[in-house]
Amino acid sequence: MKKLLLLVPLVFAAPVLASEVTVGQVCKAVSAAMFGRDLKIMRLDKVESGIAYVHYIRQNDGTRWAIKCKLIGNQVMWASDNPDSTGRWRDDPADSTVRYAVEGKKIIITEAYSDGSSSSNSYPLKQLQ
């Protein structure tokens, strides 16, 4: 009986120690990183069938910009999701590749471009709530 009692707290603690993130949190971070916007203005609209829908309001002109994201392992597949221009999934070999990683208490978004260059941004996990 003592062995069972010792294992129960470990089972419940595992997700916290693994620093798991949701598709919505990743999509907010990806949107901020790719479009050079403040993470604080990213809004998660919904998550449906594994796809997160995120938008932000552009401060200089008040226009609404939206994307949708899905995860394939640590790769983030995204498409624009604006009412007048729903875009294609960025899965062509010529498209950049977007990946995420969790390191400690932050999420790292890396975008690798077809010319071999890349950019990287990190955000505190607590700002993704």
63 against 8, higher pLDDT: 63
pLDDT category of residue 11 using cuts at 50, 70 and 90: very low
Query: Which pLDDT score is estimated for 86?
Result: 77
Give burial (CB, 10 Å; 0-12/13-18/19+) of 128.
buried
pTM: 0.82
| Phi/psi at 41 (5° precision) | -90, -5
What pLDDT does 40 receive?
Answer: 96
Which tens digits make up the pLDDT trace of 37-80? 999 999 999 999 999 999 999 999 999 999 999 999 999 999 99
At residue 9, the pLDDT reads 39
Chain mean pLDDT for the chain:
87
Cα torsion angle, 72, 91, 37, 81, sign: negative
The pLDDT tens digits of the residues spanning 98-109 come to: 999 999 999 999
In order, the DSSP letters of 32-82 are HHHHT--GGG-EEEEEETTEEEEEEE-TTT--EEEEEEEEETTEEEEEEEE
Q: Looking at residue 10, what is its pLDDT?
A: 36
Inter-residue contact 39 to 123 (CB < 8 Å): yes
